[in-house]
Amino acid sequence: MTQWTVLYRKEMMEMVRNYKFLWIPIIFILLGVMQPVSSYYMPEILDTFGGLPEGTILEMPTPTGAEVLMKVLSIYGMLGVLILVLSAMGVVSAERQSGVAGMVMIKPVPYSSYILSKWAGLLTITLISLFIGYVASWYYTSLLIETVAFERIFQSGVIYSIWLVFVVTLTLFFSTIMKGNGSVAFVTIFVVFAISTVTSILGKYMKWSPATMTEHTGQVLLSGELNSSFLLAFITTIAILIVILISSIQIFKQKELLE
Amino acid sequence: MELLKASDLVKRFGNTNAVKGINFHIEEGRCVSLLGPNGAGKTTTLKMLSGLLKPTSGSIDFKGEKAKDLRKFIGYLPQYPAFYNWMSGKEFLVFIGQLAKLNRKEAEKRSEELLERVGLTNAKKRKIGGYSGGMKQRLGLAQALIHRPKLLILDEPVSALDPLGRREVLDMMREIKEETTILFSTHVLHDAEEISDDILIMHAGEIAISGSLGSVMEEYRQPILQIEFESQAADWLKSIASYSFVSEVNIQGNKASIVLKDMVNGKQILLKDIVDRKLPIRKFEISQTTLEDLFMKVVKA
Ligand SMILES: Nc1ncnc2c1ncn2[C@@H]1O[C@H](COP(=O)(O)OP(=O)(O)OP(=O)(O)O)[C@@H](O)[C@H]1O
Ligand SMILES: [Mg+2]
């Protein structure tokens, strides 16, 4: 077994023992299911609590299935991202702080194996949570509102996962270069927010931005067609990911690991 | 045979010169202690040898070759070892063993052996988070030994332990030194005197004294007279400094240690003095300077 595998298995075991493998998917399921359920019951909820004057006839346009799922993804884009960043912020920094990173690296472990096993661990929990949550959301949407072709769910899920992978990779990077868990989370969220905002304001000039993945996701969900600029964004995102990972490894190598 | 050689090793942290160009070598099979007061640069030196800290300049040779990645040959116990507290002791050792390139089976076997050796067999299934300081230190020793390193580096292995724990770890080190070269730092001089073959005394980033324990003691040993009084005798003690055979007088309360150039005549004259003046003494002893005296001399110089 390579050292990478040993480290990756340790990441998995740790997430099982501290219940991250339980509560993160559960949060994604809850966030995903809430939207179709609340859309479905909205008229009744308004009826009960709305306090609308007697005789008002409410014409609620029922959203389409795809619209509901778009909402779900935009919630994942805020709360989901927040949860992922908060749960991943200490991935390297906490181990450096406690000194246990030094105990690992004192053995002949390649620096890349350490960082890449962390990355793989983050990817695993992210993809599993997104997949389970999104499928649960799709199931309830089909049940309560309207069936959306699974093919579109799959495609949009894959494209959306690229954005989340970008977010957790960024978290890993900041966790490697900084020490305080809080500042890691703050800076990561700030950078993610900045990229998203700049991308949506300067849309024309930002077609390569990883943040366009969320737009491509919507596109696929609504029309089933991929925008032609997807390839550009995909390639630059992969390139940025590779650069971030390589820099994380190089920076990690330079850090003093035993205090 | 020469196992490891450090040449002109320098480490700077910003403006602090933690290690100022030191040279030393370690012979295979020896147990070497690195002594020095707080802040002398012991930990910094050991970290550089372990490969976890890059020297600012200078080089480290291992078995006569310029070292690239020494981590496979070295077992290291940090001054403050840290663990995954959610793992059990056994899990941690197997994990570390596999990182040191043992296969799963070997790692299991070796872990059991070492747990036995450091006396943690009964606690092996408990979470490390619940271990006492002494147990963690022993687990730290076990993880350092897991891949049968050529050189075992221990940074203050006994400083944090109670007398009993200290005794245990020292006994383990005595066993280990039969099979492995050991380099350990300490500021407990008694421990160094007890188990090391060679000593290096560091002070302010430099090596002040080095050599085999025997030869260093031989070279720096001086006859010394220790007198204990029933009450203070500072006046007389001050006056004797003018005798030509007295080279140094140290007074600590009712005790004094006097370094003499000529023990044979000196002790006669002093004893006569004491009788003449009817000074009340409790003890009058002739002995030799210890490692501690030497250490204090280096540090205060
Ligand atoms: N990471 C660091 N950044 C800045 N200065 C450092 C760093 N590590 C050590 N130093 C400085 O280098 C000097 C030597 O420190 P070192 O830890 O090697 O001493 P030591 O001999 O191990 O002391 P102790 O007995 O207290 O463990 C000290 O002055 C310390 O302040
Ligand atoms: Mg130290």
| Residues of chain A with C-beta less than 8 angstroms from the C-beta of B83 | 100, 103
Question: Could you say which of B71, B86, B103 has the minimum Cβ distance to residue A106?
Answer: B71
- Show which of residues 30-49 on chain B sit within 8 Å of chain A, judged by CB atoms: 47
Q: What is the pLDDT of residue B28?
A: 93
Q: What is the pLDDT of residue A79?
A: 94
A3/B99 Cβ within 8 A: yes
- pLDDT surpasses 70 at A50: no
Predicted confidence band of residue A51 (pLDDT cuts 50, 70, 90):
low
Residues of chain B with CATH 3.40.50.300: 2-219
From the candidates B99, B111, B141, which should be mutated to test the interface with A, based on the most A CB atoms within 10 A?
A: B99
Rounded Cα distance between A143 and A146, Å, is: 7
- pLDDT surpasses 70 at A1: no
3-class SS of residue B33? strand
| Ligand having the closest approach to the CA of B22 | 1
Predicted confidence band of residue A210 (pLDDT cuts 50, 70, 90):
very high
Q: What is the pLDDT of residue A56?
A: 64
Per-residue CA distances from A221 to A65, A207, B125 (Å): 10, 19, 51
Rounded Cα distance between A204 and A211, Å, is: 13
- Residue B111's nearest CA partner among B148, B82, B137 is B148
User: How many beta-carbon contacts under 8 Å exist across A and B?
Assistant: 65
| Ligand having the closest approach to the CA of B202 | 1
What residues form DSSP beta bridges with B155?
B185
- For the domain spanning B2-219, the CATH number is 3.40.50.300
- The predicted-structure confidence for B201-254, as pLDDT tens digits, reads as follows 999 999 999 999 988 888 888 888 889 988 878 888 888 888 888 888 888 888
Q: Whose CA is nearest to atom 10 of ligand 1?
A: B18
**Average pLDDT of B133-138?**
92
pTM for this entry:
0.89
- The answer to whether the CB of B263 falls within 8 A of the CB of B232 is no
Q: What is the pLDDT of residue A103?
A: 95
- The predicted-structure confidence for A7-19, as pLDDT tens digits, reads as follows 999 999 999 999 9
**Average pLDDT of B283-300?**
83
3-class SS of residue A172? helix
User: Any idea which architecture B221-300 has in CATH?
Assistant: 2-Layer Sandwich (3.30)
Helix spans in chain A (H): 3-17, 20-49, 65-75, 81-88, 93-98, 100-105, 111-144, 150-177, 181-201, 212-223, 230-254
Predicted confidence band of residue A52 (pLDDT cuts 50, 70, 90):
low
Residues of chain B with CATH 3.30.70.980: 221-300
For chain A, the domain total comes to 1
- pLDDT surpasses 70 at B168: yes
User: Dihedral of the CA atoms B72, B75, B80, B82 (nearest 10)?
Assistant: 60
Q: Whose CA is nearest to atom 8 of ligand 1?
A: B44
- The predicted-structure confidence for B12-53, as pLDDT tens digits, reads as follows 998 999 999 999 999 999 999 999 999 999 999 999 999 888
Q: Whose CA is nearest to atom 14 of ligand 1?
A: B41
- The predicted-structure confidence for A61-96, as pLDDT tens digits, reads as follows 778 888 889 999 999 999 999 999 999 999 999 999
Question: Could you say which of B51, B83, B103 has the minimum Cβ distance to residue A103?
Answer: B83
**Average pLDDT of A231-240?**
95
Q: Which atom of ligand 1 is nearest to the CA of A259?
A: 1
- pLDDT surpasses 70 at A97: yes
Task: Report strand pairing: B16-27 vs B2-13.
Answer: antiparallel
Question: Could you say which of A1, A3, A99 has the minimum Cβ distance to residue B80?
Answer: A99
More confidently predicted of A30 and A49: A30
- The predicted-structure confidence for A130-175, as pLDDT tens digits, reads as follows 999 999 999 999 999 888 888 889 999 999 999 999 999 999 999 9
Helix or strand holding residue B297 (H, E):
helix B291-300
| Ligand having the closest approach to the CA of B42 | 1
Predicted confidence band of residue B162 (pLDDT cuts 50, 70, 90):
confident
Rounded Cα distance between A236 and B118, Å, is: 53
Q: What is the ipTM of this complex?
A: 0.90
| Residues of chain B with C-beta less than 8 angstroms from the C-beta of A98 | 82
- Asked if the structure places residue A259 within a domain, the reply is no
- Is the CB of B84 inside 8 Å of chain A's CB atoms? yes
- The predicted-structure confidence for B57-115, as pLDDT tens digits, reads as follows 999 999 888 878 889 999 999 999 999 999 999 999 999 999 999 999 999 999 999 99
- pLDDT surpasses 70 at A258: no
Q: Whose CA is nearest to atom 18 of ligand 1?
A: B41
Rounded Cα distance between B240 and B235, Å, is: 9
B104/A99 Cβ within 8 A: no
| Residues of chain B with C-beta less than 8 angstroms from the C-beta of A109 | 71, 99
Q: Which two tokens stand for residue B183?
A: 């380099």
Q: What is the pLDDT of residue A57?
A: 63
- The answer to whether the CB of A161 falls within 8 A of the CB of A130 is yes
**Average pLDDT of A215-234?**
89
Q: Which atom of ligand 1 is nearest to the CA of B40?
A: 21
The mean of the pLDDT values for chain A is 91
- Is the CB of B53 inside 8 Å of chain A's CB atoms? yes
Range of the domain at A76: 3-254
